[in-house]
Amino acid sequence: MHATAGSLALFVFPFVLLLCFLLYWAGARHAYLTRSVAAAGDPEAYDWHFFVPCRDEEAVVGTTVSRLRGDFPAGHVWVIDDDSDDATGAIVTAHAESDPYVHLVQRRRPHARTGKGAALNSAYDALDRFLPASTDRSRVIVCVLDADGRLAPDALPVVSGPSGFGDPDIGGVQVTVRMRNVDDRTPLPGHGRLRNALARLLVRVQDMEFTVSNTGMQLLRNRTGSVGLGGNGQFTRLAALDHIAATERRPWQRGALLEDYELGLHMILGGYQIRHIADTWVSQEGLPHLRRLLTQRTRWAQGNLQCVRYSSRVIASRHYRARGVLETLYTFVQPVAHLVSLAVGAVLLGLLLADEDSVEVLEQTAGIWPLPVGLAVLSIGPFVLWGPVYRRERAAGRSWLTGLLWGLALWLYAYHLFPVSARAFVRLLRGRTGWAKTRRNAEPVTAATAVAVEH
């Protein structure tokens, strides 16, 4: 009886997982295709402060500070130097000496290099000391940007509108992320044509992932009330950060590998709403190196596993609607689902290899070939169908066939989730929760240089 039940569970699990994926994809695609344009507001009604956490970012930080000051002259730029070993601090200091709107938040070991959340908290404390006591903190907006982040020039009017901070119940806004090097013909200078072609494709599918797939997911979350904040292009109302600090001791949680997503959880648990706005964007570098990508995504997967501890709070919260609870729990279990899928696949393969009649079984099942073909279509089709949507939005000059091929590449790219989930689980079991900093494309790499350094 137990063996039969176990075999049935092994058989049913992939179908349940596929059904959940299809429902989620359908909701995300519908939300993307039916989205409305966000009306602009008045950015002068708010005070803007940009937080830029940095560690060894001399290759990009000067350009980022200059662009922010040029595009948003009324905004203050707070660069957090997390005890860099390069010239990051000196570059920012030079800017600050001639511009009172540029601020350096200097951190030193042993208190530095303890995670991005800790770095952002130090900027929050510095901003708190900087602002007059009479400040209306509901009118102060903090924007977190990566050191290589480039914010669209129209971003502030868009996030100030009625879909954003024009609604007093909104505590946070996330904008769409793009890969700005998506059209770079030689992402790996000095390497051959084949490696550069593969690198271009890797950057392309990252751009697809963020601009259509992830954006569709976030627009679906607008409807479920469970939008997640990201680490780049994240806008938060200072009053909401104050509320989280009062209840959780700090806005960003120490040791969190997904400090941005956890901040969003705390914001919703505290009664604030979050919106994703797809009508403006922030750009960043897509990673042309597979190893760097896997390092980055392993950290994200491990951070996702850390968030499982919030399940009971989300379920019990009066600020989460039922569909928001379901969406959040579905997000939490993604790495676990990938791990279970790997295990189920390994068990089924083992049973097949151990069965002396496996060849006969395969011959018998060949007669029901429409079933695996149908499952393949249902598994691959959703990824492929994002291709034409992406082509229309981001590369209208390319052919429909190219869009479909990009969609097929997105499906193949999605398989990276399985090894990174397994690696994240192993790291979690070993108690390794360090923050691995992914190197910028502009940083030189030698044989003695690590791809990412964990502290």
**Could you report the per-residue pLDDT of 341-396, keeping only the tens digit for each?**
777 767 656 655 665 555 555 555 555 657 667 778 888 999 999 999 999 999 99
Residue 382's Cβ-side half-sphere holds a number of Cα atoms within 13 Å equal to 20
Tell me which of 289 and 12 has the higher pLDDT.
Answer: 289
pLDDT at 360: 57
CB-based contact 102:92 (threshold 8 Å):
yes
Please, what is the Cα angle at 34 between 29 and 35, to 5 degrees?
100
User: Distance (Å, rounded) from C-alpha 90 to C-alpha 60?
Assistant: 13
pTM of the full structure: 0.89
Please, what is the Cα angle at 125 between 119 and 126, to 5 degrees?
90
pLDDT at 336: 84
User: Distance (Å, rounded) from C-alpha 232 to C-alpha 155?
Assistant: 13
3-class DSSP assignment, residue 168: coil
Listed as own residue / partner, the contacts of 222-225 with beta carbons closer than 8 Å and 24 or more positions apart are: 222/31, 222/275, 222/276, 223/27, 223/31, 223/323, 224/321, 224/323, 224/324, 224/326, 224/327, 225/268, 225/273, 225/320, 225/321, 225/323, 225/324
CB-based contact 375:18 (threshold 8 Å):
yes
Give 88-106 pLDDT, tens digit per residue: 999 999 999 999 999 999 9
- E-strand ranges in 218-365 read 234-237, 273-284
User: Distance (Å, rounded) from C-alpha 281 to C-alpha 155?
Assistant: 7
Other beta carbons less than 10 A from residue 120's beta carbon = 27
Pair type for strands 76-82 and 102-107:
parallel
CB-based contact 75:161 (threshold 8 Å):
no
Percent of the chain scoring above 90 in pLDDT: 74
CB-based contact 48:156 (threshold 8 Å):
yes
Omega cis (within 30) before 110? yes
Strand partners, 277: 175
Pair type for strands 140-144 and 47-54:
parallel
User: Distance (Å, rounded) from C-alpha 50 to C-alpha 141?
Assistant: 8
3-class DSSP assignment, residue 172: strand
Tokens matching residue 132: 């007059």
CB-based contact 288:203 (threshold 8 Å):
yes
Please, what is the Cα angle at 91 between 86 and 92, to 5 degrees?
115
User: Distance (Å, rounded) from C-alpha 411 to C-alpha 417?
Assistant: 11
Give 196-255 pLDDT, tens digit per residue: 999 999 999 999 999 999 999 999 999 999 999 998 999 999 999 999 999 999 999 888
Tokens matching residue 40: 């602009």
Tokens matching residue 334: 């993604």
User: What does the pLDDT average to over 167-172?
Assistant: 97
What's the mean per-residue pLDDT of the chain? 88
Tell me which of 187 and 430 has the higher pLDDT.
Answer: 187
